[in-house]
Amino acid sequence: MIEAPSPNQDERPAGVPVDMLILHYTGMRAGREALDRLRDPAAKVSSHYLVEEDGRVFRLVPEHRRAAHAGISHWRGHAGLNARSIGVEIVNPGHEWGYRPFPALQMAAVCDLCLGILARHPIPARNVLAHSDVAPDRKQDPGELFDWEGLAHNGVGLWPGADPPPPGEAALLPLLGAIGYRTDLPLSVLVTAFQRHWLPGRADGIADAPTRARIAAVAALCAADDQRKSGA
Residue 197, domain extent: 160-232
Has 33 been annotated as catalytic? no
Could you say which residues of the chain have pLDDT below 70? 229-232
On whether both 22 and 101 belong to a single domain, the answer is yes
Q: What's residue 228's pLDDT?
A: 76
On whether both 93 and 31 belong to a single domain, the answer is yes
CB atoms under 10 Å from CB of 165, counted, come to 8
Could you say which of 142, 159, 176 is where a domain stops?
Answer: 159
On whether both 154 and 129 belong to a single domain, the answer is yes
Q: What's residue 106's pLDDT?
A: 99
User: Among 100, 64, 61, 75, which residue's Cα sits nearest to residue 22?
Assistant: 75
**Contact present, 137 and 189 (Cβ < 8 Å):** yes
DSSP conformation letters of 150-188: HHHHTTSS---SS--PPPPGGGHHHHHHHHT--SSS-HH
Tens-digit pLDDT profile for residues 123-133: 999 999 999 99
User: Among 218, 191, 216, 213, which residue's Cα sits nearest to residue 202?
Assistant: 191
Rounded to two decimals, the pTM is: 0.95
On whether both 37 and 92 belong to a single domain, the answer is yes
CB atoms under 10 Å from CB of 88, counted, come to 23
Helix axes 172-179, 187-198, angle to 10 degrees: 50
Judge if the upstream peptide bond of residue 142 is cis by omega within 30 degrees of 0.
yes
On whether both 169 and 184 belong to a single domain, the answer is yes
CA–CA distance from 170 to each of 102, 192, 212 (Å)? 35, 17, 10
On whether both 132 and 210 belong to a single domain, the answer is no
Residues 98 and 27: their CA atoms lie apart, in Å, by: 9
Q: How many domains does the chain have?
A: 2
Q: What's residue 51's pLDDT?
A: 99
**Contact present, 66 and 12 (Cβ < 8 Å):** yes
Could you say which of 159, 183, 202 is where a domain stops?
Answer: 159
**Contact present, 132 and 193 (Cβ < 8 Å):** yes
Tens-digit pLDDT profile for residues 94-136: 999 999 999 999 999 999 999 999 999 999 999 999 999 999 9
Selecting among 3, 11, 63, 89, the annotated active-site residue is: 89
Within 13 A of 86's CA, how many CA atoms are on the CB side?
27
On whether both 30 and 98 belong to a single domain, the answer is yes
> Angle CA(223)–CA(134)–CA(31) in degrees, nearest 5?
125
On whether both 179 and 149 belong to a single domain, the answer is no
| Residue ranges in the chain assigned as alpha helix (H) | 31-38, 94-97, 104-120, 131-134, 148-153, 172-179, 187-198, 209-231
